[in-house]
């Protein structure tokens, strides 16, 4: 199943949600995760953790992440914990990975080098 959520802000953030055969959601991001797109991203991630046994957020095509994006990730992680489902980050590029490390998100949320590794962790 593939649901294309559409651009949060045209040409800035594209959010695509797919579901694996066992119901796990993969939320694929492309562009910049900032204040302009964080509201739509929050909606997609919270919907995902409410309906799936696990969620992987694919950052492979994201070149920028700001504090509003960090807050969205933490909110989704907490929502997943409260439901007893898992939430993981995958394929963060160097710049995004550095931000995740600097603010300690990598200590809170499991981060993996690829989507495949996140799915099998």
* Residue pLDDT, tens place only, 37-51: 999 999 999 999 999
pLDDT at 112 over 80: yes
Q: Which pTM does this prediction carry?
A: 0.90
Strand partners, 2: 18
Encoded tokens for 22: 């066992």
Exposed, middle or buried, 73 (CB in 10 Å: 0-12/13-18/19+)? buried
The DSSP code for 12 is T
């Amino acid at each position: 199943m593939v649901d294309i959520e559409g651009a949060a802000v045209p040409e800035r953030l594209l959010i695509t949600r797919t579901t694996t055969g066992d119901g796990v959601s993969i939320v694929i991001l492309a562009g910049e995760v900032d204040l302009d797109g964080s509201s739509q991203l929050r909606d997609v991630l919270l919907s995902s953790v409410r309906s799936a046994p696990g969620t992987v957020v694919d950052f492979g095509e994201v070149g920028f992440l700001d504090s509003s994006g960090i807050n969205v990730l933490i909110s989704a992680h907490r929502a997943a914990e409260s439901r007893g489902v898992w939430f993981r980050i995958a394929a963060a590029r160097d710049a995004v990975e550095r931000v995740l490390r600097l603010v300690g998100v990598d200590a809170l949320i499991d981060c993996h080098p690829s989507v495949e590794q996140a799915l099998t962790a």
